[in-house]
Chains A and B, each alone.
Chain A
């Protein structure tokens, strides 16, 4: 009896072992793990929410189609609550503990700047969705950061486009209205640095905090300064408040340009009509329906727009577009080099190298051409200047 019991028990144990480890004895492939840090809550939630939704939608699409060469794609998404410190901690968590192959985000300038050192330390590629040129280039040494890439055209490029447009309209005296976050500060620096190149003088330099609820004082000072145009550089609810103040103070005869942080139709809604006549820069991806059929990005942008709007019953924005571009860039890298290496370090390096050499990649934001000197793959002509008309974007002339 005892021997039979013993062998029965051994048999059961073997069965359990087989059942629970059986699949790995087979040929199932290891999932590809990526990390993502988005500001789903907090001041930058307008960006983080569509980014999270886009990522989830694309991951589902990819896995439904069999994954990347049979490997399931897993993206761990964390919320940094628009807080730079949290972004830094979460980056460490993803790169050190979760051992991800690459990082999507963070989505804002401040949070991205907090993460760049971690990416360099853990030698893991990061594709930021923030604006500032300082994310990919160290301002102290003017050298490109080896492990950091970014999607959106940087603020320098956007400022150049806005100044080009102003020059074309014959405007050379402007006022700047920027917020005090890293995004606003970097934008302001770019505005000041590039003004002389376009013959522009800045007559008023106004600032406000990201949680301020009234900017009539700043706008009144701008009114006094005699500026011919106002350039606002901020994201979050303050974008809407400055437009409402602009309209409420009766200043609509002074052209108002908002930074590309505006690029979201929700902001137009919230402005309750105050956005009419405002100019801003958006990605071709946000106005896919306005693009001519011959436009190189037409197919890719229409695909994304239709899928996103159908699934979430919400219009696309430039923010979701960055998430789409970043994920597709990683997927492209994984397809080409994902199976070549077994160690984490080698995989991360291979992915980074592939990203750095990607050329002619058609995305929502433009056609990307990366190189060792350009970790932001777009030129200043990537974006489209629009004017808000009847509550929607229209191409500006």
Chain B
């Protein structure tokens, strides 16, 4: 029996934590895009994650499409669903209060779950891993290739994000809406369209997270809410509205959870992450990267 050193264990927990944390980070990014554009917390974010996974499963396993095509199509379909959701449930409202919008997203979450149950039933579904199951051994830790896909795709998304919001006009326009919708409107930015694009983007990112994790953790119709809660935890932890915060907090949350489960007690791992969250909020209410002035100005 090989000696399983402390270092190997640390590495094992670290990789698992990083993988789970990447999912939290992606979901948190999705929350932040919509929050920045509309000050709304979209509680249906977890459902985009779930839909991404299940649609990819149907496309690849039931219809037999090659995996890359299934991936792209699934992300596309869920992005469309995000856009439709915005047009149907958010756009028609005249000066809605933030509370109303939050209630609408919660209702949407329940409805989407119900539809998913009708379509896919209550069964658990599996997706073939992107590059096989041959485990990779690194310093005594055993790592699935799919973990690297999760990490890799997260890095790609984060880089694409940065480029989009800092280097493209569209990205800057959305950021402007987040800063000051009236001023943005005055300079000719169509705020309503920016909101639409935000929802679509957020849905797309959620879908990517869902698809890439399904080969590891499987997917079922009611997986959304738990992921949404953890992702939201990462959002608050990192500072509402901060993209960097979302990524850092998501990864940290995943790693803390994994290390706690690994070295202290597996039964309380959820409590560990949430306790840290509470502690951070006591000492730094705006989160790791949030700014206190902005927290005061924003309505929610």
A residues sitting closer than 8 Å to B (CB atoms) are 40-42, 45, 49, 180, 206-209, 211, 213-218, 220-221, 223-224, 226, 236-237, 240-241, 244, 247-250, 266, 270, 272
Contact = CB atoms under 8 A, between A and B. Distances in A.
Interface string B11-52: 011001001100000000000000000000000000000000
Nearest to A206: B266
A217 B266 contact: yes
B122 A41 contact: yes
19 contacts: A42-B222, A206-B266, A207-B265, A208-B267, A213-B213, A213-B216, A214-B16, A214-B217, A216-B12, A217-B12, A217-B266, A217-B269, A224-B9, A236-B124, A240-B124, A240-B218, A249-B142, A250-B135, A270-B218
B77 to A, nearest CB: 23
B117 interface: yes
A220 B269 CA distance: 15
A214 B20 contact: yes
Nearest to B124: A237
Interface string B129-148: 00001010000001010000
Given A207-B266, A214-B217, A244-B216, 6 more contacts: A45-B122, A208-B266, A213-B223, A221-B262, A248-B133, A248-B135
A228 B220 CA distance: 33
B258 interface: yes
The size bracket of the interface on B is 20 to 34
A244 B19 CA distance: 16
Nearest to A250: B142
Given A41-B117, A45-B122, A214-B217, A220 B262 contact: yes
Given A249-B142, A250-B142, A220 B124 contact: no
Contacts of A247: 133
Nearest to B259: A217
Contacts of B265: 207
B133 A217 contact: no
B186 interface: no
Nearest to A204: B266
Contact of B4 (A40, A223, A248): A223
Contacts of B117: 41
A48 to B, nearest CB: 8
B136 to A, nearest CB: 10
Interface in B229-275: 258, 261-262, 265-267, 269-270
A225 to B, nearest CB: 10
A151 to B, nearest CB: 22
Contacts, number: 76
Q: Sorted from nearest, which 6 A-B pairs have the closest CB atoms?
A: A213-B217, A45-B122, A207-B267, A217-B261, A217-B262, A237-B124
A42 to B, nearest CB: 7
A272 to B, nearest CB: 6
B4 A224 contact: yes
Contacts of A237: 124, 218, 220
A394 B267 CA distance: 34
A217 B258 contact: yes
B159 interface: no
A220 B9 CA distance: 7
Nearest to B8: A220
A211 B226 contact: yes
B62 to A, nearest CB: 14
Contacts of A224: 4, 9
Contacts of B218: 213, 237, 240-241, 270
Contacts of A226: 1
A247 B142 CA distance: 10
A270 B122 contact: no
A259 to B, nearest CB: 18
Interface in B188-233: 213, 216-218, 220, 222-223, 226
A215 B269 CA distance: 11
B13 A42 contact: no
Contact of A220 (B13, B20, B123): B13
A279 to B, nearest CB: 21
A29 B41 CA distance: 59
Nearest to B141: A220
B31 to A, nearest CB: 19
A270 B142 CA distance: 22
B96 to A, nearest CB: 31
B217 to A, nearest CB: 3
A217 B13 contact: yes
A191 to B, nearest CB: 15
B25 to A, nearest CB: 16
Contact of B216 (A40, A208, A214): A214
